[in-house]
């Protein structure tokens, strides 16, 4: 039995497509802000949505990656790009909604990424790492392509990695104690999702280095 097909295939696929869609929206919106043209918007939407899973699949040897074998995974970001292209002031106005969906994508991908890596024979710690990479990798590629410092790494952004780390850790603990069920998987998704929502609501941030003396300009 493969854990990453834990939910029924159709439920899993629907959840994946929703996560891909909201990640694509965030990539397309950054592309609009960076003044890219319509193809730049589409490329950034694709990379943001599929990049995390692509990194995971290449590392665990699951080639060709799911991003290239499922047409729905490929078309979804294009739809998101079109939507942003025509309606972006409205999409921006509903930024709160986008953030909520993005948090849902984060929670979902950290769980499915972890279970897929474990299915491919990786250890528990490595699986959790790849779960984290699945959840945040697309956003990092998005920021690198847009020539911005990855918001994942910046201290002045609300916690993003921690919810995904918590979700991935819950999954590997469940695997370790033989308790991974659809229920516990779903609970891990929801925990990561809610933690991210709380981090945004209360502007939780992680500390910077102690005794920090700025040796480069603040940015």
**3-state SS assignment for residue 138:** helix
Q: Interface mask (CB under 8 A) for its own copies, residues 67-106, using x and -?
A: -xx-x--x---------xxx-xx--x--------------
Stretch that binds its own copies, among 1-9, 107-115, 124-132, 169-177 (CB under 8 A): 124-132
Interface residue with its own copies, options 22, 31, 172, 188 (CB under 8 A): 31
Nearest distance from C-beta of residue 74 to its own copies, angstroms? 6
Q: Compute the residue count for the chain.
A: 219
List, as one string, the DSSP characters of 83-136: HHHHHHHHHHHTHHHHHHHHHHHHHHHHHHHHHHHHHTT--HHHHHHHHHHHHH
In terms of Cα–Cα distance, which of 175, 158, 156, 39 is closest to 106? 158
Contacts with its own copies by CB under 8 A: the residue count is: 67
CA angle centred on 159, ends 74 and 207, rounded to 5°? 145
| Residue 65 is a binding residue for its own copies (CB under 8 A) | yes
| Residue 219 is a binding residue for its own copies (CB under 8 A) | yes
Please tell me the distance from the alpha carbon of residue 55 to that of residue 37, in angstroms, as a whole number: 26
User: Can you give the binding site for its own copies, defined by CB under 8 A?
Assistant: 31-41, 43-44, 54, 58-61, 63-65, 68-69, 71, 74, 84-86, 88-89, 92, 120-123, 125-126, 129-130, 140, 144-150, 152-155, 161-162, 205-216, 218-219
């Amino acid at each position: 039995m493969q854990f990453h097909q834990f939910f029924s295939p159709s439920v899993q696929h629907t959840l994946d497509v929703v996560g891909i869609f909201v990640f694509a929206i965030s990539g397309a919106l950054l592309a609009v802000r960076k003044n890219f043209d319509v193809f730049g918007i589409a490329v950034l939407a694709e990379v943001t949505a599929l990049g995390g899973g692509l990194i995971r699949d290449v590392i665990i040897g699951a080639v060709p990656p799911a991003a290239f074998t499922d047409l729905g995974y490929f078309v979804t970001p294009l739809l998101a790009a079109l939507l942003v292209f025509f309606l972006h002031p409205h999409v921006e106005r509903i930024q709160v909604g986008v953030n909520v969906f993005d948090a849902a994508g984060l929670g979902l991908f950290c769980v499915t990424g972890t279970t897929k890596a474990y299915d491919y024979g990786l250890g528990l710690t490595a699986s959790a790492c790849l779960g984290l990479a699945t959840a945040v990798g697309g956003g990092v590629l998005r920021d690198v392509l847009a020539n911005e410092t990855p918001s994942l790494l910046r201290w002045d952004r609300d916690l993003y990695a921690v919810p995904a780390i918590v979700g991935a850790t819950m999954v590997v603990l469940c695997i370790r104690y033989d308790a991974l069920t659809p229920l516990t998987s779903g609970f891990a998704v929801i925990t990561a999702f809610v933690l991210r929502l709380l981090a945004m609501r209360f502007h939780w941030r992680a500390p910077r280095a102690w005794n920090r003396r700025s040796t480069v300009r603040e940015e």
